Amino acid sequence: MTQHSRDLSRRRLLFGGAALGAGALLTACTSNEAAPTAAQTKVAEAAAGGNSTPGKQVTIGFSAPAADHGWIAAITNNAKAQAGAYSDVKFTSVEAGADAAAQRAALSTLVAQKPDVIVLLPHDGKELNAFGLEAMKAGIPVVNLDRAFPDARAYRLQIKGDNYGMGVAAATFIAEQLKAKGVSAPVIGEIAGMDELELTQERSKGFADTLASYGLKVANRRAARFTADSGQQEATGLLQALPKIDAIWNHDDDQGIGVLAAVNQANRKEFFMVGGAGSKKAMEDIQADNTVLKATVTYSPSMASSAISLARLIGQGKGMSDLVELQVPKEIVLASETITKENASNYLKLGF
């Protein structure tokens, strides 16, 4: 009997030890060092007498949705890094929570701290329009990042990407390539992002409109969810539906990891693919030229860095030094550029 209980306790000890060891090993496994990508979009201008000369101290309040996607994470990181590059900027950031209501609450605590300028990526431009109006009325200039307010009085500056333009750029590249190859009646597939978002609709519209101008159309369109696993799933469906494809446009490079995986798993290489957004991985793939990914159209999170720079100028009452105007303009729309093997090296520093 004592023998028996000793056996049991030894077993318990072994199990306990194994569990502890596994636990220790696992916690050691959460580290993600060796990924110092924080300063990817710092554009500190060196020119003396330009916009970068230190001026009046400016406090910039920043709010963006909690990131669940590489692009949003890059927005927050870029804003922080850019603010850190200026000696005269104080950066206060509030977590915007999970939805527009949470962001509104977070923003009201931000306003109470009386920042000089607020830079804000709203969950939804329409839902936070009222906040923009309120802050502007209270004398705090608002810089809207990427998701437009419907009311022009709700912002001092709006800086955003061009979703429609992305579709245009992707379709133009695809159509020109197909024309150069002399493909008649090409089969074109599209893997969109989250279909309930307006930006996805705009991208698809730009794509379809431009293709139509070349007399082409999309043969099959699947909507994924901006995640790699959903991209893999939808791409598998697309490949299954179209036994022969000439070109694919995938809206988002993060989900593109999954799309490329699906292409490899299906052993298909008769077509070429264009990505979207411009992640570092996509640019490296394009440069290496060993996958079906031949180009990507940008929607760069570097706009967050630019937004901070411009917010600083607004706070100091300066204009952009290269322009004649004495103040910062009211609206800036980034052009969607096409990154190919030839120019990928120039853009690599903007990849996220």
C-beta closer to another protein: residue 219 or 333: 219
Give least dist CB 190 to another protein, A. Answer: 10
Query: Closer to another protein at the Cβ: 281 or 318?
Result: 281
Q: Which residue, among 247, 178, 190, has the nearest Cα to 220 in the 3D structure?
A: 190
Q: Which is nearer to another protein, 113 or 240 (CB)?
A: 240
Least Cβ distance, residue 128 to another protein (angstroms): 22
Query: Of the two residues 29 and 138, which places its CB atom closer to another protein in the complex?
Result: 29
Residue numbers of the site for another protein (CB under 8 A)? 22-23, 26, 28-35, 67-70, 72-73, 195, 219-223, 225-234, 236-238, 240-241, 243, 254, 257-258, 260-262, 264-265, 281
Least CB distance to another protein at residue 294 (A): 19
Minimal distance in Å, beta carbon 209 to another protein? 19
Instruction: Supply the minimum distance, in Å, between the C-beta of residue 336 and another protein.
Output: 21
Nearer residue to another protein within complex by CB, 257 or 311: 257
CB of 40 to another protein, least distance (A): 12
Output 195 or 270, the one with its CB closest to another protein.
195
